[in-house]
């Protein structure tokens, strides 16, 4: 009797285990197809591509929708997209290769390799390490200095970037707080350039993409060899789906320049899941360095008991990767965003799973985020969520909030349209130490503002209230209209200028709030 019960219990256990393992195999290719097509039908979305690798094999790699709403050409698994900040993990890997070659140490001071590197004080400058460049703990604020690279078309150089940090104001003590940064990845790319003699893009193509046979990919928009299968960026921020200009500034390459397809990214994901190995047992970088890239360097949050849908205990940033736990599994991931392009890459090392979703629409129903979440859920056996419904609700809530704030601003502008102001009190040049000059000038009887170094930031000024104006930029690819708030002297003449974004949903890279513009002579 006891043996019979024991045998029955063992059978039940084996059945439960086999059922669990079966469930943990993730969505089938057909199920991903179904989810992708539903997503495409539910949102203003031009196209996207999805890939999944598991246990060393490609489970799914397919495109959906179109590369361009004009050409109507279909997205496929080889369509190239801007992967934006997913490029940061390539920068970390490039540095890991140099560490393995003995040309660099993670603990090297940046000034050892770039003597002219600056920071907001001498202690931080002298102690800033290569690791510090990659894990967003500089003490500077979110997106500090990004106006030098957003929108593209500016004339800022790497020398300007290196010089800028001494003029930026910290928001926290060094190495105490996470604030996402792009410019320091550009500095990391410059270290790679100085040590290798190659540009960052050349190094990544030669040392990473070529060995992994990512043959169609490129380190920069301008280095794409064949543009026959290239996704065009789109935006639905203003309602209807429309084409926007591709971001092409090579200064940003190390922070977000790569173009790749899901087919090529599969090789990148498989290599990571194999501990840095590829091909016939070749090693791209050492396991030791992979562990360092996947180690929590900067904490974002921590909960001893776990919280939320996934019972998350922690979220942290490593070197080029976000690290967090979902239901006890470690999730290694990153997202990326540029005008009209959003993407995400995911690794679940314990389950040997990799996911990539690349889209050519912003916001596009957040497909870049929701598609990976559904696939992750299927592998970790999380409670299923209707992610399309979640995205629709989130988009509606965000849009309602944005509309409420933005409409109120322009309604106030409309009510003040008959207010007479002395234009000559505002006309002139204003200079910020890291961003350079902006000019307020008269055009066709109206006040306008322009940046002398970032020409896309040119726009008409509308009187708002007090000494403030709302600036509507000619650049419309992203919603970045801004307030301009003047300080006047005792005679009523403007002496300085502060700015901030109007929309609560403005991209953090439009860091107008960091400008400190003082009136100067031409």
* 415-520: CATH number: 2.40.128.50
Q: Taking residues 313-332, what's their average pLDDT?
A: 98
Domain 26-139+174-385 has CATH 3.40.710.10: yes
Element (H, E) at 330: strand 329-338
* pLDDT tens digits along 128-165: 999 999 999 999 999 999 999 999 999 999 999 999 99
Does the CA dihedral 84-42-28-67 come out positive or negative?
negative
Over the stretch 92-114, which tens digit does the pLDDT of each residue have?
999 999 999 999 999 999 999 99
Q: CA-to-CA distance for 311 and 326, rounded, in angstroms?
A: 6
Between 194 and 391, residue with greater pLDDT:
194
Q: What is the mean pLDDT of residues 390-401?
A: 88
Taking only the tens place, the pLDDT of each residue in 46-104 is 999 999 999 999 999 999 999 999 999 999 999 999 999 999 999 999 999 999 999 99
pLDDT grade for 11, boundaries at 50, 70 and 90: very low
Query: By the 8 A CB rule, do 345 and 334 touch?
Result: yes
The pLDDT of residue 12 is 34
Pairing type for strands 81-82 and 57-65 reads unpaired
pLDDT confidence band for 24 (50 / 70 / 90): low
Domain chopping of the chain, boundaries: 26-139+174-385, 415-520
**What integer pLDDT is reported at residue 400 of this predicted model?**
87
Arithmetic mean of pLDDT, 11-23: 35
For residue 359, list its beta bridge partners: 48, 342
Identify the DSSP state of 182.
Answer: S
CB 367 within 8 A of CB 39: yes
| Model pLDDT for residues 253-289, shown as the tens digit of each residue | 999 999 999 999 999 999 999 999 999 899 999 999 9
Separation CA 344–CA 86 (nearest Å): 7
Q: What is the mean pLDDT of residues 427-437?
A: 98
């Amino acid at each position: 009797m006891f043996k019979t019960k024991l045998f029955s219990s063992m059978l039940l256990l084996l059945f439960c285990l086999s059922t669990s393992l079966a469930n943990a195999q993730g969505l089938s290719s057909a199920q991903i197809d179904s989810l992708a097509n539903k997503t495409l039908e539910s949102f203003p979305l031009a196209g996207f591509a999805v890939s999944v690798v598991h246990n060393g094999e490609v489970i799914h790699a397919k495109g959906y929708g179109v590369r361009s709403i004009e050409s109507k050409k279909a997205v496929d698994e080889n369509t190239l997209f801007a992967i934006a900040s997913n490029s940061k993990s390539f920068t970390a890997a490039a540095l890991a290769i140099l560490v393995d070659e003995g040309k660099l140490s993670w603990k090297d001071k940046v000034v050892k390799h770039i003597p002219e590197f600056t920071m907001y004080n001498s202690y931080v400058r002298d102690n800033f390490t290569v690791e510090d460049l990659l894990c967003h703990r500089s003490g500077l604020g979110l997106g500090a200095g990004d106006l030098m690279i957003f929108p593209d078309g500016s004339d800022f150089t790497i020398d300007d970037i290196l010089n800028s940090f001494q003029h930026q104001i910290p928001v926290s003590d060094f190495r105490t707080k996470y604030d996402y940064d792009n410019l320091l990845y550009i500095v990391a790319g410059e270290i790679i350039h100085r040590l290798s003699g190659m540009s960052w893009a050349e190094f990544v193509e030669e040392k990473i993409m070529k060995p992994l046979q990512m043959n169609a990919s490129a380190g920069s928009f301008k280095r794409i060899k064949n543009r026959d299968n290239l996704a065009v960026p789109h935006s639905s921020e203003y309602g209807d789906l429309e084409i926007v200009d591709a971001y092409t500034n090579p200064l940003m390459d190390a922070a977000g320049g790569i173009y790749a397809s899901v087919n090529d990214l599969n090789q990148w994901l498989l290599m990571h899941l194999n501990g840095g190995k590829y091909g016939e047992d070749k090693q791209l970088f050492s396991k030791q360095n992979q562990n360092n890239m996947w180690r929590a360097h900067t904490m974002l949050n921590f909960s001893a008991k776990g919280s939320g849908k996934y019972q998350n205990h922690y979220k942290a940033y490593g070197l080029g990767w976000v690290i967090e736990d979902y239901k006890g599994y470690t999730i290694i991931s990153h997202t990326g965003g540029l005008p009209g392009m959003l993407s995400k890459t995911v690794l679940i090392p314990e389950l040997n799973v990799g996911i990539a979703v690349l889209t050519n629409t912003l916001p596009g129903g957040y497909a870049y985020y929701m598609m990976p979440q559904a696939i992750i859920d299927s592998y970790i056996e999380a409670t299923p969520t209707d992610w399309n419904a979640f995205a629709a609700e989130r988009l509606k809530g965000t849009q309602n909030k944005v509309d409420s704030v933005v409409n109120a601003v322009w309604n106030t502008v409309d009510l003040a349209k008959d207010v007479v102001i002395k234009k000559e009190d505002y006309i002139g040049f204003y200079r910020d130490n890291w961003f350079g000059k902006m000019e307020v000038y008269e055009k066709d009887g109206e006040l306008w503002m322009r940046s002398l170094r970032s020409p896309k930031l040119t726009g008409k000024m509308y009187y708002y209230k007090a000494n403030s104006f709302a600036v509507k930029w000619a650049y419309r690819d992203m919603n970045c209209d801004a307030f301009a708030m003047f300080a006047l002297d005792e005679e009523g003449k403007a002496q300085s200028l502060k700015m901030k974004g109007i929309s609560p949903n403005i991209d953090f890279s439009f860091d107008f709030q960091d400008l400190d513009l003082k009136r100067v002579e031409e």
